[in-house]
Structure 1
Amino acid sequence: MFAATAPVKPAWAGLADAIAIDTLGGPGTYDAEPYTPLTEAMLADAKASGLTAVNLTVNGASVGNYARNYEDTVREIAYWNAQIAAHPDALLLVRRASELAEAKRSRRLGLIYGFQDAAPFGENLDRLDTFWDLGVRIYQLTYNKRNLVGDGCLEPANAGLSMFGRKLVEKLNARKALIDLSHAGQRTTLDAAAMSKAPIAITHTGCAAIAPFPRNKTDEELKAVADKGGYVGIYLMPFLRGKGQPMAADLIAHLEHAIDVCGEDHVGIGSDGVISPVAVTPEFKKKFADEIADRRKRGISAPGEDPNVYTFIPDLNRADRFDRIAELLAARKHSDARIAKILGGNFARLLNDVWGV
């Protein structure tokens, strides 16, 4: 199972003009070691993807680990700053909504720095000033487990936002930062949606009405975010199907359900993966199984994670997957205007609403 080479001309004609944003992803390959410099092949895949920007996780090295997350996050940001400096013709740091247009014009991939989990804050919310100055613009409140902010989606108590978490929401609103509720528990999601003064996002999730995994959101949660003017990104993950390997048809089903619940102005795609396609080799299979085992050992593995079910969609295992998704939506009679919104227009609108120009 190897990826097809991206075509020179997009299958969906609207891609040339659309702002396409993967609301959880990034350049690179699955098998790259941490802090490996980006290669020309990785950058070529990013160019071929047709993407304008990605929400790039910059605290992934030790997600959920309070002991190391602050230091590891600063190092990870430094790594990405170095990659941007090394490839200024291919990458652009996006700190404000207006820079999306510049990324599109210059055909560079815009990197929007984001967190998955609030662990980098430790007990010090004043660190927001530091993170903001370093370019972090998207802040996910929890990962799968409980943290000081609130309960993640795997916590059986489902306790919602803590007092500390409510203070963080207030500070993020004051900073005009985007709040991300991916991986959050149901009450945490509903609490944050209710108290936030600004629209919020769930950058990468699925629909629990189709596949009732903890990582997926109920219709109540989806609607609460949409009613606030927010955004829901559907991922390309194992949780799209109750059992077995999800395929492109499963992604389309979740996108269409989210549109039915939220409306076409509030839905998009957050792949939760790297841009470059995955070569499914014996080495890949072993590494993937080892990672699942390690996540289970650390208590951050979610139901639905399986060493035999990959964290990508095989028939979308290509750098230009957004173009293929657009083609599939067009085949189901979705309008070009709607497809442009789903590929990134809705998220671009949200960033403008929350960040300002």
Structure 2
Amino acid sequence: MTPQKSEVKSRIGKNFDGYQSFKYLIPGKHYKPYQLPQSEKYRQTEKIKLREDQERIFETVLKSYPIVSLRDHGFVVPKNQEDIIPYCRQLHTAYDYKGLALSGVDVLFENFMDGISILTSSNGLKWDDVILTLGIRYCDIAKQNTVFIAKDYQDLLDAKKTNRIAILPSLEAASILENEVDRVDVLYGFGIRCMGITYNEANTLGSGLIEKSDSGLTKFGHRVVERMNRLGMVIDISHCGDQTSLDVIEASEAPVFITHAGARAVWNSPRMKSDEVLKACADKGGIIGVCAAPNTTLSSKNPNEHTIEAVMEHLEYLIELVGVDHVGLGPDTFFGDHVGLQHAFDDMLSLSESHGENYEESSYVKGLENPTEAMKNMMKWMITRDYNIQDIQKIIGGNALRVLEEILPFCD
């Protein structure tokens, strides 16, 4: 066992042997390297201090219960703002295996940043771009032992047992289908097990959350929902407009996920979900993951600072609204300058429109800056608020796994 592997495994129980992205290639010869932020710096965030008895509870939860992030990323943003676009125009973008190993997460819904894949198109969300991105990331993953691609429900259960992280391949939106329903099958064959219906703007399936007029799920969208149900693919409505969300929930035979969002009653922006949508999702048996991407889950109590307190206000509101059995965590963090990436792709993805108005931009979420600390700090926050272990277990993964067991057995 190498020193690096011993160091990481002794702290959080995950396999890590020091592997870095594309270690089998020569930078400068096989791909263009870009300066990345120092890992020691970009993994730092505010620590939540626990009493000794609380620390014992935290260690017990971390060791004993499956931890599921409904949305996070191993993606690393380059250090310099001007490098972001050219960096994303090549196949070889860095993935932080050590940062994920230190996160404590067992199951990760990961979309490999498909929304900003601009290999063949400057507008992104294109079929060729997504397939190329999946292929190169799968190749890199095949060279290491920290994470693995999950194909079915049993793989999710095996993650903690084998000291690894099960990645559930996901897509941000189904825009790449265009009008080809059989592409759903092709994506399933490529390992995709969760897919969003729309991103912020409308596509052939329905309306995104920034559209002024939401006419709901299209006829083609109904066909896609039916095909995803048949295959056993998780349906995600995180970025759908309200009517499209309600139509998807009604059309789907299986429960629907909102993997990363928040409550509009806490922060009034298009990116948040209305009570009507949240209740409908829960009534159908679905799960709502609380997002922590900068400038999304703010709170009207303090619109000028995005902190873990604001994010967890959304969690507590959701628990009160739909019950603890329908809530999970989907921080949607990655490594490096999250807001810098938002600025670089704002026009392409309509990000500022989705965030709403009348707030002062935060450069990061205090206490939830990246995947290394996000899930752990959310767990610690609940412990300091005297959540019982049973409820914590449900929120950090139990609820998601219960519903995934309903959906994913069709993979076999």
The alpha carbon displacement at 1:229 in A equals 0.8
Point out the structure with max Rg over C-alpha. Answer: 2
Percent identical pairs in the alignment equals 25
What residue identity is the alignment partner of 2:346? R
For normalisation by structure 1, the TM-score amounts to 0.88
Question: Which of 115, 121, 142 is the aligned partner of 1:60?
Answer: 115
**Which deviations, in whole Å up to 9, do the C-alpha atoms of 1:120-151 show, x marking residues without a partner?**
11111111111111100101000011110000
Contact kept, 8 Å, 1:236 with 1:311, in 2: the verdict is no
Kindly indicate whether residue 288 of structure 2 is the aligned counterpart of residue 240 of structure 1. no
Contact kept, 8 Å, 2:234 with 2:407, in 1: the verdict is yes
CA distance in 2, matches of 1:311, 1:232: 25
Contact kept, 8 Å, 1:234 with 1:269, in 2: the verdict is yes
308-317 vs 92-101, greater mean Cα deviation: 308-317
Pairing of 1:9-20 with structure 2 (within 5 A): 12-13=58-59, 14-20=61-67
Residue 281 of structure 1 is matched in structure 2 by none
Contact kept, 8 Å, 2:290 with 2:311, in 1: the verdict is yes
The alpha carbon displacement at 1:68 in A equals 6.2
Residue 147 of structure 1 is matched in structure 2 by 203
SS at match of 2:264: coil
Residue 186 of structure 2 is matched in structure 1 by 130
For normalisation by structure 2, the TM-score amounts to 0.77
CA distance in 2, matches of 1:169, 1:66: 25
Residue 310 of structure 2 is matched in structure 1 by 250
Question: Which of 290, 307, 323 is the aligned partner of 2:376?
Answer: 323
Pairing of 1:77-226 with structure 2 (within 5 A): 77-87=134-144, 89-226=145-282
The alpha carbon displacement at 1:300 in A equals 4.8
Contact kept, 8 Å, 2:271 with 2:356, in 1: the verdict is no
SS at match of 1:29: coil
SS at match of 1:123: coil
Change (3 A) 1:251 1:67: closer
The alpha carbon displacement at 1:304 in A equals 2.8
Residue 75 of structure 1 is matched in structure 2 by 132
**Which deviations, in whole Å up to 9, do the C-alpha atoms of 1:335-354 show, x marking residues without a partner?**
11111111111111121111
178-187 vs 307-316, greater mean Cα deviation: 307-316
The alpha carbon displacement at 1:108 in A equals 1.2
CA distance in 2, matches of 1:5, 1:311: 14
**Which deviations, in whole Å up to 9, do the C-alpha atoms of 1:183-209 show, x marking residues without a partner?**
100000111111111111000001001
What residue identity is the alignment partner of 1:342? I
- The size of the alignment, in residue pairs, is 344
What residue identity is the alignment partner of 2:324? E
Residue 100 of structure 2 is matched in structure 1 by 46
Contact kept, 8 Å, 1:149 with 1:164, in 2: the verdict is yes
SS at match of 1:272: coil
- Bigger relative contact order (CA 8 A; separation at least 6): 1
What residue identity is the alignment partner of 1:54? L
CA distance in 1, matches of 2:363, 2:282: 26
Unaligned runs of 5+ in 2: 1-40, 50-54, 80-86
The alpha carbon displacement at 1:38 in A equals 4.6
CA distance in 2, matches of 1:290, 1:325: 24
What residue identity is the alignment partner of 2:109? N
Kindly indicate whether residue 24 of structure 2 is the aligned counterpart of residue 24 of structure 1. no
332-341 vs 311-320, greater mean Cα deviation: 311-320
Change (3 A) 1:168 1:254: same
SS at match of 2:367: helix
Change (3 A) 1:62 1:192: same
What residue identity is the alignment partner of 1:44? K
SS at match of 2:296: helix
The alpha carbon displacement at 1:247 in A equals 0.5
Contact kept, 8 Å, 1:47 with 1:107, in 2: the verdict is no
CA distance in 1, matches of 2:237, 2:189: 22
The alpha carbon displacement at 1:303 in A equals 4.1
What residue identity is the alignment partner of 1:313? V
Change (3 A) 1:107 1:29: same
CA distance in 2, matches of 1:26, 1:11: 27
Contact kept, 8 Å, 1:66 with 1:122, in 2: the verdict is no
What residue identity is the alignment partner of 1:202? I
What residue identity is the alignment partner of 2:323? G
The alpha carbon displacement at 1:72 in A equals 0.6
CA distance in 2, matches of 1:5, 1:16: 22
SS at match of 2:393: helix
Change (3 A) 1:159 1:18: same
